[in-house]
Homo-oligomer: A and B are copies of this chain.
Amino acid sequence: MPKRATIQDVARAAGVSVTTVSRYLNGRYESMSENTREKIAAVIAELGYRPNALAKGLKAQRTETVGAIVVNMSYPFCVGFLRAFSRTLSAAGYHLMVAESEGDAKRERQLIESFVANRVEAIALQTSGANNDYLEDLAREMPVVLVDRAFALRNAYAIGTNNRDASREIAWQLFDLGYDCVVYLTEDERGIPTRTDRLEGYLDACRVALREPVVMRVRRGDPASFREALARVDACARKERTAVYTANGLVLMECYRPLRALGHKVPDAMGIATFDQPDWADLVDPPLTCVRQPVEEMGEAAGRIITARLRGEAVAAEVLVVPSTVVMRGSTGRG
């Protein structure tokens, strides 16, 4: 591995001082003869010189890099968010460092610290909530944006959706469509506000509709937990018109097939609905009724807030709620 040319090498080869080269690099051509400029340009091209961003960052105290921590880069929410976030930042000249917390609070903490050590200029994360104190401190030093799990922290920004309202809305519509029993499938919601809110929304709807809530907790990757939930759905569907409503797209993906295999006619005997709009929502037949989360908008908003702040603009800390929309489709007999 040959070592890379430095500004020194360029200066030497061009017969000028590093100062002049530095000026050239930063586009301050006014203070430089046409001649030197061309000379430097030539040398740079010849040596394939690339300025060392580390040295520059060390001096300037700026890395032009921001960090993002998500639970799992392959989750649809994360994919959509990261992409929009990345595009926005990229357009503003920032680099993106990404990492996965796997939902583990300790790991999340380590990742944040190592991002800080790398002097990212801002952080966006889908936090577990366990590091909120630390994040609150951190938010005094750099822009911190909480995404999805929108905890309200001093000095930090939060971007989420109206989980409870949207969940209530879709659950209510299910009752309204004549499903007598709506079974709600969720992962353990402890400590995760999005899950709590969606559950609450469902419970709200049950209250208003004067129905008994049926909440089944499942664990993704644990078929037994799903079997139990499906058994419950089946039992209901044998007695009355039943709808299954899942707390997110991944849960539905994991049980969609067995759900259909129960044999109840969709949407008449059994309705299906989910929070999230999976990319396969209208490929299945009938297409899925779902809650569309504005994932891209969230990513863009996060990017906008961060770039604005890094540009030096004052942006008041706030909890931004980007509303979700209920999309009624054939899986619940309308749309």
Contact = CB atoms under 8 A, between A and B. Distances in A.
Contacts of A113: 50
A137 B73 CA distance: 32
A138 B42 CA distance: 20
A190 interface: no
A80 interface: yes
Interface stretch (A81-89, A236-244, A317-325): A81-89
Given A53-B118, A119-B54, A283-B253, A97 B99 contact: no
B74 A80 contact: yes
A95 B97 contact: yes
Contacts of A116: 50
A79 interface: yes
Copies in the complex: 2
Contacts of A283: 253, 256-257, 280, 283-284
Contacts of A100: 83, 86-87, 90
23 contacts: A1-B142, A3-B61, A4-B141, A51-B117, A52-B58, A53-B119, A54-B54, A55-B58, A65-B97, A73-B83, A74-B79, A74-B80, A83-B100, A90-B99, A90-B100, A95-B114, A95-B118, A96-B99, A257-B282, A260-B285, A283-B283, A284-B284, A285-B285
Given A86-B98, A96-B97, A253-B279, 16 more contacts: A3-B61, A48-B137, A54-B57, A55-B58, A65-B118, A74-B79, A74-B83, A86-B100, A87-B100, A90-B99, A90-B100, A95-B118, A96-B98, A279-B280, A283-B284, A285-B285
